[in-house]
Amino acid sequence: MVKICCIGAGYVGGPTMAVIALKCPSVEVVVVDISEPRIAGWNSDRLPIYEPGLDDVVKQCRGRNLFFSTEVHRHVGDADIVFVSVNTPTKTCGLGAGKAADLTYWESAARMIADVSRSDKIVVEKSTVPVKTAEAIEKILVHNSRGVRYQILSNPEFLAEGTAIQDLFAPDRVLIGGRETPEGRAAVKKLKDVYAHWVPEDRIITTNLWSAELSKLAANAFLAQRISSVNAISALCEATGADVTQVAHSVGKDARIGPRFLSASVGFGGSCFQKDILNLVYICECYGLPEVAGYWREVIRINDYQKSRFVNRVVSSMFNTVAGKKVAVLGFAFKKDTGDTRETPAIDVCNGLLGDKAVVSIYDPQVTEEQVSRDLAMKKFDWDHPRHLQPLSATDLAKQVAVAADAYEAARDAHAVCILTEWDEFRGLDYKRMFDAMHKPAFIFDGRNVVDVAKLREIGFIVYSIGKPLDDWLKDMPAVA
């Protein structure tokens, strides 16, 4: 029986290993983490992350060939293949601060693997890492090997939260990078044989290590670039009276472009896009490519501009102040069908409103009050460190921020509603009921283009929808507060 151990029981490690266990009954899979509460969650009926379909997969395999444990050293020592799926946060101080990836946790994992290993191992990069990280990890392992031989592979994940299980069941591609040596090719084949249990061979791509590492950063950069491109056009649409939905539909009909990732919004979020682009910028700068670095930096700048533009529109529309006014925020996760709030645009929007002394009431079907408090208290990049190293929730926000049990409670006595996540339930709300319980004039600021603008205007709302022709009320208001 092949034994696989994954270090890190987070959004990548947990679902990926669960699907491998399901599809490979002859493989023993153990997910390890130093966080006892997180492992306890994976062993309970309420998993620590929300992902459609994940519960069923875990329940089918857990206790059979899928295990979750805090006994890190024992299971790493026993494994044939060790996946490393630990945090790679953006550095907040020192060389490369604000751009470079902090590989502290990766280095600690590599040193631990070297300390506990007594048999040859294949070590697989599953976290998103800078190009040439494998070389650094290889040096640590080789210099501490005590006769144990290691092969380093890069096997980046290409999961989209909300569809991660579907993506794992039927991936567009599985990418495996390894050394171009007999030993390296043998290691690639061993990992390829695991995925071949359910992934067609033509979808398993093998490359050298550096191509695999760079492919992940490039893929995320390309996707984020599409979002920033359509968001830039959304600002122009508002200025000219065009409709960004119609423009995006027309553009997406071109087979060379396609329709995906062309939905205008308040901005992109999630754990990867911004972090990976900043990492790409830093790598380009290090290799003496300032023009390339500048190109990718603009993707981030447009995303920040879109969020600040949204806040400005809210404040300027409401007589240039939201001080003391209740603003309902519907949706806090960075996208629907996930409870993940990492780099969610809602954080910057809420902080912008709070900075103008608004009273904010938040509803999200999958995000807890504790998580909201943590996110609004954190400094930039704090979210990507283990939970016990994150700052505690700020108590001074309590008077300005409340978390509601449903959308109607959030909107009761509010002056405005901001829709920041495209949850399906927000499309079917009784907006007449909501309108009747709000102060007038009642505003809706749709950051995800989920509402029927015409119907809401018939009810009596003043509606702002990203990239859509402006309400007559808004035409008379400056776009910047």
56 is in an annotated binding site: no
The answer to whether the CB of 404 falls within 8 A of the CB of 410 is yes
Please indicate if the annotation marks 272 as binding a ligand: yes
Q: Is 9 annotated to bind ligand? A: yes
The CA distance from 10 to 24, in Å, is 21
Per the annotation, the verdict on 237 as an active-site residue is no
> Does 38 count as an annotated binding residue?
yes
Query: Is position 70 annotated in a ligand binding site?
Result: no
Query: Coil, helix or strand for 9?
Result: coil
**Residue 375, annotated as binding a ligand:** no
Please give the structure tokens belonging to residue 338.
């996930």
133 carries a ligand binding annotation = no
381 is in an annotated binding site: no
Any residues with CB less than 8 A from the CB of 109 and at least 6 apart, and which?
A: 7, 84, 86
- Reading the block at residue 195, the tokens are 């995925």
Residue 464 bridge partners (DSSP): 445
d(CA 111, CA 109): 6
CB 350 within 8 A of CB 311: no
User: How is residue 298 annotated by DSSP?
Assistant: H
CA 314 to chain centre: 25
- SS3 assignment, position 193: helix
SS3 for 446? strand
Helix (H, G, I), strand (E, B) or coil at 69: strand
127 annotated as belonging to a binding site for a ligand? yes
Alpha helices in 253-289 (DSSP H): 273-286
Nearest-CA neighbor of 129 among 195, 163, 98, 84? 84
Strands (DSSP E) contained in 28-128 are 28-32, 66-69, 81-84, 121-125
- Residue 286 marked ligand-binding: no
CA distance 27 to 20: 8
Q: How far is CA 187 from CA 4, 24, 110, in A?
A: 13, 18, 18
Residue 192 in marked binding region = no
Is 275 annotated to bind ligand?
yes
11 is in an annotated binding site: yes
Question: Does the annotation flag 33 for ligand binding?
Answer: yes
| Residue 86, marked binder | yes
**For residue 75, what are the contacts with CB-CB under 8 A and spacing of at least 6?**
5, 30, 32, 69
Beta carbons of 57 and 102 less than 8 angstroms apart: no
Of 2, 1, 474, 4, whose CA–CA distance to 239 is shortest?
474
CA separation for the pair 111, 123 (Å, rounded): 12
Catalytic entry in 61, 272, 284, 418:
272
Q: Would you list which residues are annotated within the binding site? A: 8-13, 33, 38, 86-90, 127-128, 161, 272-275, 342
Active site residues: 272
Q: Would you list which residues are annotated within the binding site for NAD(+)? A: 8-13, 33, 38, 86-90, 127-128, 161, 272-275, 342
